Amino acid sequence: MNFWAMQTMNSLSLGILLFLIASGFSLIFGLMRIANLAHGSFYLLGAYVGLAVLNKTESWPLAVLAASVGVPVAGILLQRLFLNRLHNQELPQVLLTFGFMFIFADLALYLWGGTPQTLPKPEMFSSSVRFMGLVFPAYRLFVIGVGLFIAVGLWLFLEKTKVGAMVRAGVDDSEMARAVGINVPLIFTGVFALGVALAALAGVLGGPIIGVFPGLDLEILLLALVVVVIGGIGSIKGAFVGSLLVGILDNFGKALFPEIAFFTIFAPMALVLALRPKGLFGK
Amino acid sequence: MKLKSLAVAAVTGLMFAASSIAAETGPIKIGFMAPYVGVYTKLGTDMDKGFHLYLDEVGYKAAGRQIVVSKEDTEAKPELGPTKARKLIENDNVQIIAGIVHSGVAMSIRDMVNDKKIPLVVTNAGAPEITGAKKSPYIFRVSFANGQQDLAGGWYAYNKLGFKKMIVIAPDYAAGHDKANGFMKYFKEAGGQIVEEIYPPLNTNDFGPYLTKIMDKQKEIDGVWAFFAGSGSIRLITQYDEYGLKASIPLYTIGDTLDDAFLPSMKDSAVGIKNYLHYADTVKSPENEKFVKAYTEKYKEGPGVFSEQGYVGAKAIVAAIEAVKGNVEDKEAFIAALRKVKFAAPRGPFSFDENQNVIENVYIRRVDKGDGKYFNTILDTIPDVDQNWSPAKMKK
Amino acid sequence: MSTAKKRISMVLGVALLSGALAPFLPNYYAGLLSEVLIFAVFAMSLDLLVGFMGLPSLGHAAYFGMGSYTAGLIALNYTHNIWVCAAAGTLAALVTALLFGLLVLRTGGASFLMITLALSQILWGIAFKWRSFTGGEDGLSGIARTSMGIPWDLTPVHGFLWLAIIFFAVMGALIALYHISPFGLALQGIRESETRMRSLGYNVWLYKYIGHAVAAMVAGVSGVMFLFYNSFVSPNYLSTGFSAKALLMVILGGSGTLLGPVFGSLVIVALENVVSFFTERWMMIIGATYVLVVLFFPKGVLGSLGKLTGRRQG
C-alpha cells in the first residue's frame, strides 16, 4: 500500500514539474505557432539565475522573482528583435529559436561553467513529512502545491478574464482580433513573456530535484515535446493531462519495469502519434 | 668530380648527424586530451591542472629537454577522438599522448595509438578493456579500471563492516555495471547476499521511484551500495536523505559518489557515509601534503581525485623520460622504462601491473564535517589493489 | 538535358577540386576534407527533406546512425567488404525510414520537427542501452578499413580520402539528377501545394513516403562512410547533436540548392576544428552566424547568390 501511495506522490511531483515546463511551450506554440526550441534554454537560464541569486542572498522569494522576471526580459528581446522580423514564417522562426539554443547554451557555459550544480531547497521545506508510515520530501509537496496553484491560475486567467479572452481570440483568429481592436502584437509579446516566465520558474522549482548542468536544456526541451505531442498542441488542458500521464507512466514504469525505464516516456508518445497524431486534446 | 660527390656526401652525412642530434635535444611534445566543455568539464580541467602542476614543479624539463604540451578538447565525445588524436599526432607531431576522461574516447583512439606506436598515458578513462581485452604495449593507465577499487571495497563490506544483505544501485551504462560487478564479486564470495540490483538510466534526475523500491524492501536488507558520478551523485545522496532512507538503511559507496568536489552541494546529507576510493585529499603522507598545498596555492581551490590523476600521469611520464635520458624517440626503450616506473604518489605507492594498469591503495573513508567544511576521513587502507585483485593477494 | 549536365558538372567540379588538393594536404587536413565530403552528402540528404520537400527534420541522424551501426556490426562479425557493409547499412536506414515514415508523415512544419527529434532520441536510447549489441556508450571500435572490394588500400588517410571524393562525386551526381527527375519535380510540386497535386491525381502520401525513404537511404550510406572514416561508431551518431549539425549546414549553405549543403559542411567543419583553436566560444559563434543567416540570408549563403549555384526549379 505504502509503495503505491508513494509512487503516486512521486508521479504527481514529476507531472506537475513537467506541466510547468510544457505549459509555457504550449502557450507560445498555440498562440503564435512558434515552436520555441529555446524553451529548454529558458528553463536552464531560470535555474542558473535562481542559483546565482540563492548563492548571494539565500532568499528563495528573490530567486523566484529574479528568474521569473529577469529571464522573460531575454525572451521579450528574442521575440521583439528577432522573431518579429520573421513574422508569420513558421519554419524560419523555429530555426531561429534553434540558433538561439546554441547561443544561450554557450552563454550559460561561459557564465556558470560546466560543473553540474544543485539548487538548495528553501529552509522550511528541506525536511521530510511523515504521514501514516509514509515518508515524503516536503519540498516535493511544495512543488505539487505551487504547480497546482499556477495551473488553476492559468486556467482562470485564460477562461475568466478579459485579457484571457483576448488571448484566446488571438489564438483563434488573429486577423479578426486585430480588426476588432485588440492589440495583438502586445498580446503576443505578453504571452511569449508568460511562456518564458513559466519555463524559468520551472527551472528554479526543479533545481533542487533535477539540478542544473550543460545539456539540461536539450533534455527539458525533449520532455516538453513529448508532453505536448501526447497532450496536444496549443491546449493547456492537454499539457496538464499529458504531463500527469507522462509523470505516472515514467514513475511506475521505472519502478515496475526498470529494464525499459528509458522508453517509458517515448513509447506512449509513439503510440499517440500512431493512433491520434493531433494529441489527446490537440486543436 | 670525385671530390664534389665526396663533399656532398660529407655535407649530407653531417646534416643527418646534426638533425638527429637536434632531434634529441629539441622539445618533447606531449598531447593532452580532455573535455573542456560539457558535463565532464570539471574532470577534464582538474586533470589538466594536476598535469601542469607537476610539469611546473620540474620546470617543464626532463633529462635536459624541454617539455611542450598541446591540448585538444575532446568534449567527451568519442567521435571526436580520432580527429583530435590525428591532429596531435600528424599535425603537432607529439611523441606522447596523455589525459582522456571518457572511456569511449580512449577506445576510439586505441587502434591509432597502437598502430602508430604512440605511448598513451590514460589519466582517467576506466573501461577495463583498455588494459584488458584491448590492451596494447603502448597504453598505460594511472587512474583505475572500473571495478578495481570495488573488488576490495566489496570484500571489506562483508568482512569488516558487517554488511550481509544489500541492494546495489548504479547507472545503466558500462562503467555502472563494471563497478557494480566488481563490488558484488567478493562480497558474494564471502557469503553476502544481493537482494536486488537497480540500474536507472544514466541521466536520471529523479530517483523517487527507485528509492521507493528500496524503502519497500528495507526489512530485507542492511545496506545499499551506490555508484553515481557528478550531478547524479548529488541528487542521489540528497534524495536518499529526503526520503528518510539515510536514517534507516546505511549507504556504502564507491568514492565517486561522495567526491570531495560535490560534498559542499550535498551538505549534511553526506555526513557519516562510508565509502572507498584510491585517493582522498586527507591522505597523510609528505607527498600528499606537499601536493595539496602546492595545488591550493596555485589554483586557489583544493585538488580532487582527478587532479591527482593528472599529476601522477605527468610524474610517470617524466620519470620514464629521465630513465631513458631523454631519448623518447626510441619508443621501445621508453615504454619499457614506463613499465618500470615506481614512486610515492600523493595517493600512496604507485606502480604498474603486467597489463600496464596502476596498482594502488584503496582507502576506506567516511564523510565528516568540521570547521564548517565537509571532507573524507580515512579509516582504513587496503594496499596493492590491482585490476585483478583478490582477497588471496592480501598479505596477512 | 543541359540542366542535368550543368548540375553534374558543378558536383564534379567540387570533386575535381578536392582531388587536385588531395595529394598536397598533410594527413590531418586530408582527414578533415574527408569529413567535409561525407558530411556534405549527409547534409544534402537532409536537404532532400528540408529544402526539397519542405519537411524540417531534426532527427535525420537516426538514419545516418543506423547506417553506421549496421555497417559496423557487419564489419566486426561477418566481412569487411565495404560494398556489403554499405548495402547493409543503407538497407537498415531504409527499413527504419519506412517504419518512421508511417508516424512522422502525418504532420508537417514544427510538429514534424519535434516528432523527428523525439524518434531519433528513442534510437539513441536503444543504442545506449543495448550494450551487448551496440557497445553502449563506448560504442563499437576497432573497425578496420581494408581494401576488400576496392582496388587500393583504404587504411592510410589519403587512401580513404580518394574513396570519399569518389563517394561525393557519385552521390552528388545522383542527387543532382534526382532533383530534376520527374519524381523529384513531382515532390517539389507537392511541397508547393499538396491539394493541387492531389487534384492532378498524384498519390501525395505515397510520393512523400518514398521521398522520405530516399533521403534516409542517402543518409544511411553517408553514415557507413563516416563509420569507416573513424573506424568507430557510438550512440552520438544517432543523436540530436548530429541531426542539428546537419541542419545547421543546410540552412547556412542554403536549403533547396544543390551545393548549399556542401558549402555548409565546409563552413561548419572548419568552424568546429579551426575556430576552436582561437576561442573557446566557438559554439556561440556558430549559433550567432546561424541566426544571422536565418534572419538576413534566409536562402542561405549560396541560395542568396542565386543563379550561380543551380537553385531549385521555380
Rounded to a whole number of angstroms, the distance between the first and last alpha carbons of chain A is 39
Q: Is residue B99 a contact partner of residue B34, using CB atoms and an 8 Å limit? A: yes
Query: At C310, is the pLDDT very low, low, confident or very high (cuts 50, 70, 90)?
Result: very low
What is the pLDDT averaged over residues B201-209? Answer: 83
pLDDT of residue A103: 93
C309: its cell numbers: 549555384
Closest chain A C-alpha to C144 CA, distance in angstroms: 32
Rounded to the nearest integer, the mean pLDDT of chain C is 88
Q: Note whether A252 contacts B: Cβ–Cβ < 8 A.
A: yes
- Which three-class secondary structure state does DSSP give residue B349? strand
Q: How far apart are CA B316 and CA C102, in angstroms?
A: 57
Query: For residue A269, is pLDDT > 90?
Result: no
**Residues above pLDDT 90, as percent of chain B:** 75
Q: Is any Cβ of chain C less than 8 angstroms from the Cβ of A215?
A: no
Residue A1 confidence (pLDDT) above 70: no
Answer yes or no: do A92 and C294 touch at CB < 8 A. Answer: yes
C-alpha to C-alpha distance for B359 and B372, rounded to whole angstroms: 35
Residue B1 pLDDT greater than 60, yes or no: no
Three cell numbers written together for C92: 537498415
State whether A14 and B215 contact (CB < 8 Å): no
Are the CB atoms for C221 and B65 separated by under 8 Å?
no
Q: Which of C113, C119, C294 sits opposite A35 (nearest CB)?
A: C113
Cell numbers that stand for A108 in this block? 550559460
Q: Residue A255 in contact with residue B200, Cβ under 8 Å?
A: no
Which residues on chain C are in Cβ contact (under 8 Å) with B202? 128, 137
Q: How confident is the model at residue B15 (pLDDT cuts 50, 70, 90)?
A: low
Q: Report pLDDT for C314.
A: 35
Residue C304 has pLDDT above 70, yes or no: no
Q: Does A111 touch chain C (CB under 8 A)?
A: no
Helix (H), strand (E) at residue A136 = strand A134-137
Cβ <8 Å between C232 and B107? yes
Is the separation of the CB atoms in A63 and A85 below 8 Å? Answer: no
Closest residue in C to A93 (Cα) is C294
Chain C environment of B45 (Cβ under 8 Å): none
What pLDDT score was predicted for residue A133?
73
Confidence of residue A264 (pLDDT cuts 50, 70, 90): confident
pLDDT over 90 (residue B100): yes
Cβ atoms of residues A200 and A49 within 8 Å: yes
pTM over 0.90? The answer is no
Residue found under cell 582561437: C278
Do the bridges between strand B342-345 and strand B348-352 make them parallel or antiparallel, or are there none, so unpaired? antiparallel
> pLDDT-derived band of residue B61, with 50, 70 and 90 as boundaries?
very high
**B180/chain C closest Cα distance in angstroms:** 15
Indicate if the pLDDT at residue C97 is higher than 90.
yes
- Measure the CA–CA gap between B10 and B73, rounded to whole angstroms: 46
Quick one: pLDDT at residue C312?
45
Tens of pLDDT, residue by residue over B320-329, are: 999 999 999 9
Question: C235 or A117: whose pLDDT is higher?
Answer: C235
pLDDT of residue B10: 57
Give the closest residue to A42 by CA, choosing from A63, A15, A69, A82.
A69
Contacts 24+ apart (CB under 8 A), B128-135: B128/B178, B128/B387, B130/B103, B130/B106, B130/B357, B131/B355, B131/B356, B131/B357, B131/B387, B132/B355, B132/B387, B134/B107, B134/B110, B134/C141, B134/C142, B135/B355, B135/B356
Interface test with A, best of B212, B240, B249 (most A CBs within 10 A): B212
Interface test with C, best of A102, A109, A257 (most C CBs within 10 A): A102
pLDDT in tens, B365-380: 999 999 989 999 999 9
Tell me the percentage of chain A whose pLDDT exceeds 70: 98
Task: Tell me the pLDDT tens digit for each residue of B221-273.
Answer: 999 999 998 878 988 998 999 888 998 999 999 999 998 888 888 889 999 99
Question: CA C242, CA C236: separation in Å to the nearest integer?
Answer: 7
Instruction: Name residue B61's beta-bridge partners.
Output: B66
Contact flag C230-B82 (C-beta cutoff 8 Å): yes
Q: Determine contact, residues C254/C300, Cβ cutoff 8 Å.
A: yes
Distance CA A132, CA A124 (A): 21
CA atoms within a 13 Å half-sphere pointing along the CA-CB vector of C251: 30
- Which amino acid appears at position A66 of this protein? A
pLDDT digits (tens, 9 = 90+) for C146-170: 777 788 888 888 999 999 999 999 9
d(CA B144, CA B111) in angstroms, rounded, equals 21
Residue where the block lists cell 552528388? C172
Q: What is the pLDDT of residue B14?
A: 58
- Whether the CB-CB separation of B164 and B193 falls below 8 Å is answered with yes
Q: Which residue has the cell 523527428?
A: C116
Average pLDDT value over all residues in chain A: 86
Angle, alpha carbons C256-C257-C263 (nearest 5°): 120
Residues of B in contact with C276 (CB under 8 A): 73
- Look over chain B and give the mean of its residue pLDDT values, rounded to a whole number: 91
H-type alpha helices, B140-278:
148-159, 174-189, 208-216, 230-242, 245-248, 263-266
Binned at pLDDT 50, 70 and 90, residue B385 comes out as very high
Taking an 8 Å cut-off on Cβ atoms, the answer to whether C121 and A269 are in contact is no
C-alpha cell at B188: 558474494
Q: Report whether pLDDT(C35) > 60.
A: yes
A86-100, B274-288, C63-77, C250-264: range with lowest mean pLDDT: A86-100
Q: How confident is the model at residue C213 (pLDDT cuts 50, 70, 90)?
A: very high
Name the strand (E) or helix (H) holding B198: strand B193-198
Would the CB atoms of B209 and A252 count as touching at under 8 Å?
yes
pLDDT digits (tens, 9 = 90+) for B132-184: 999 999 999 999 999 999 999 999 999 999 999 999 999 988 899 999 999 99
Q: Is B216 in contact with A109 (Cβ distance < 8 A)? A: no
Distance CA C285, CA C304 (A): 21
Chains in touch with A (≥3 Cβ pairs < 8 A): B, C
Residue B29 β-bridge partners: B68
Per DSSP, the residues of B37-84 read: SSTTHHHHHHHHHHHHHHHHHTTTEETTEEEEEEEEE-TT-GGGHHHH
